[in-house]
Structure 1
Amino acid sequence: MTATDISARPRRRKNTRPVWDDEPTRFGKITKAAFLICYAAAVVIPLWAIVATSFASEDALNRAGGNLLLLPTELSVQAYQEIFSGGALTESLLLTLLLTAGGTALSMVLTIGAAYGLSRPGSLLHRPLLMLVLFTFLFAPGMYPQFLVVQKLGLFDNYMSLILPMALNAFNLIVLRAFFMNSVPTELIDAAKMDGATEFRILFRIVLPMSKAILAVIALFYAVMYWNIYFQAVLYIPGQDTQPIQVVLQRMLMSTQGLPGAAGEVSQYQTQAPDSALKMAVVVCTILPIVIMYPFIQRHFTKAVITGAVKG
């Protein structure tokens, strides 16, 4: 190989950086900004239309032909007064709140207990129980077997059927177990045992205070699941007069589309407020609690879920 061949080779630049670390061009910045603005508008404008329509008066909705409004000329809170006036809509909203609070509390107790027990290598039947949890995680039962189990246990047309079948989620259990195993120092637990601490004392005084981030995220997962419960309510409690708010919203939307039987189902929710404003007010009530809760827990997502899932 001659010196000419060596000099003809392209020289490698020093301090080369990956493409994604390079400074974006002016065109790239403008394109990203335009894309983000369009994406934000696609999310914000429909939500704003829902909120604005829920506060619109009957005259403003009539002038708009019953469509959604972006800037209502006349405002009214009649729809929200009807929701919180103590009628069927209020009972439905309170039922959903009770199901969410009670179901989340029960699910957290079961998940924390199971995850802590499975995170300790020397616990009783550690390996068989873990394999059983993983089996249910990979092969979930179908709708018909779940319905038969609920029926045979005497939970049909009982509100507990909306909580007990979903009280323990395998995914949340595996994530929380991985967090306990990788983020809580084993030396700290061993030191507590040498000082005479019991397992319950270790759990409540050491493990749980160090796991506030993952516990907040898991609680949010369960709360969203119970708050948005719909299909289980349709299957398991068809004879109950008070239904979760998601079922009420679906029936109200069906009544607008003129589907058979929808008018009779939604008759108990008819009020003096305009139909469009009342429907949008119910939509606001269904999404507002989660929207309020999410910003306080969002900062824990990266630390909690990524640590528990990747390291585990």
Structure 2
Amino acid sequence: MTAITTPRRNGSRRRAAWDEEPSPFAKFTKAAFLTAYAAAVIIPIWTIIVTSLSTEDALTDAGGNMVFLPTDLSLQAYKVVLGGGEFTSSLLYTAQITAIGTAVSMVITIGAAYGLSRPGTLFHRPLLMLILLTFLFQPGIVPSFLVVKNLGLLNTFWALILPMSFNAFNLIVLRAFFMNSVPRELIDAARIDGAGEFRTLFRIVLPMSKAILAVIALFYAVFYWNIYFQAVLLTPSLDEQPIQVLLQRAILTTTGLPGQDAAMADLRAAGQEVAPDTSIKMAVVICTILPIVIMYPFIQKHFSKAVITGAVKG
């Protein structure tokens, strides 16, 4: 389609409205909106960081609430949080869930996506339709709980991995990438040379799909790291709980972290200043979001190439 233009009186043609240079008012409006949006994201995070580093006197000067301007900073809250108590144990437990869960999910998703991307696969269309139906019909809480219970996974480590190890959206994106971004000629040449499906997958397809694999792995890692409702529903009796469950308890209760009193008693015995409860809670929030924030910049460069290619071309 070509843009409809209106001829001017002098015979020249005017550009389409979306090709015109923005007016000064439009530029100012965009800048103001982006500034307000960035402030809405940055200010809460900044406040949480400063509060986690604040002492009792700084919180008192702020009225006992969140601190915005740093005055008296201390690392005592992080010493309590990372002092080897239940929070540290929960952090390691969540990292274990994230690492194993992401690995299991990637193996399942890669195998299914590659199989469904090859023409002539057994039950290709029925399996693909069943997967697409999960976008329209989501299983309920009770059926999911009964499946996990009847499989004997209730209150086990694998209850937080196996039921959530497959995501239909990630499979569709990865399948589209395999079909459209991996040259069919390379696969045909590998088959002529005698390569089987596994050799073709590991020697040709996966090395050419590093960008999309990094993005899909990040999606799974963020999901497993933030797992909360599944832990509350499926593993309520386990001694170890994911970090999000512990974070919810620390934020909503007045007793603080489990084992917090012992850590603070050690600080008092050493003659060190004790961190206030508000600072400890904010330190828990920072320690919870920091691993994903650190991981994201290393994957961010792949998003445009991987997600757009896999989604639009498919």
Q: Same fold (TM over 0.5)?
A: yes
CA displacement 1:44-92 (0-9 Å, x = unmatched): 1111000111111122223323211112321111111122211101001
Pairs within 5 Å for 1:204-283: 204-256=202-254, 263=255, 267-270=258-261, 271-272=263-264, 273-283=275-285
Q: CA deviation at 1:12?
A: 9.1
Q: Structure 1 residues 10 and 85, CA, compared in 2 at 3 Å: closer, same or farther? A: closer
Q: Structure 1 residues 239 and 12, CA, compared in 2 at 3 Å: closer, same or farther? A: farther
Q: Flag structure 2 segments of 5+ consecutive residues without an equivalent.
A: 1-6, 265-274
Q: Which residue of 2 aligns with 1:287?
A: 289
In structure 1, how many angstroms separate the alpha carbons of the residues matched to 2:208 and 2:165?
Answer: 24
Q: Which residue of 1 aligns with 2:154?
A: 156
Q: CA deviation at 1:136?
A: 2.4
Q: CA deviation at 1:187?
A: 1.0
CA displacement 1:175-195 (0-9 Å, x = unmatched): 100110011111110011001
Could you tell me whether the CA contact under 8 Å between 2:86 and 2:258 is conserved in 1? no
Q: CA deviation at 1:137?
A: 3.0
Q: Which amino acid aligns with 2:149?
A: Q
- What is the Cα-based RMSD across aligned positions, in Å? 1.9
Q: Which residue of 1 aligns with 2:269?
A: none
In structure 1, how many angstroms separate the alpha carbons of the residues matched to 2:236 and 2:90?
Answer: 14
Q: Which residue of 1 aligns with 2:313?
A: 311
Stretch moving more, 246-255 or 130-139: 130-139
In structure 2, how many angstroms separate the alpha carbons of the residues matched to 1:92 and 1:147?
Answer: 23
Q: Tell me, what secondary structure is at the counterpart of 1:68?
A: coil
Q: Tell me, what secondary structure is at the counterpart of 1:137?
A: coil
CA displacement 1:125-179 (0-9 Å, x = unmatched): 2222212212223212101000001111111111211100000111101110011
Pairs within 5 Å for 1:1-312: 14-256=12-254, 263=255, 267-270=258-261, 271-272=263-264, 273-312=275-314
Q: Which amino acid aligns with 1:299?
A: K
Stretch moving more, 11-20 or 200-209: 11-20
In structure 2, how many angstroms separate the alpha carbons of the residues matched to 1:159 and 1:15?
Answer: 68
Q: CA deviation at 1:16?
A: 3.1
Q: Tell me, what secondary structure is at the counterpart of 2:88?
A: helix
Q: Structure 1 residues 136 and 31, CA, compared in 2 at 3 Å: closer, same or farther? A: closer
Could you tell me whether the CA contact under 8 Å between 1:214 and 1:305 is conserved in 2? yes
Q: Tell me, what secondary structure is at the counterpart of 1:156?
A: coil
In structure 2, how many angstroms separate the alpha carbons of the residues matched to 1:113 and 1:66?
Answer: 54
Identical amino acids, percent of aligned pairs: 68
Aligned residues: 297
Stretch moving more, 222-231 or 268-277: 268-277
Q: Structure 1 residues 22 and 164, CA, compared in 2 at 3 Å: closer, same or farther? A: same
Q: Which residue of 1 aligns with 2:270?
A: none
Q: Which amino acid aligns with 2:116?
A: L
Could you tell me whether the CA contact under 8 Å between 2:87 and 2:257 is conserved in 1? no
Q: Which amino acid aligns with 1:76?
A: S
In structure 2, how many angstroms separate the alpha carbons of the residues matched to 1:134 and 1:30?
Answer: 44
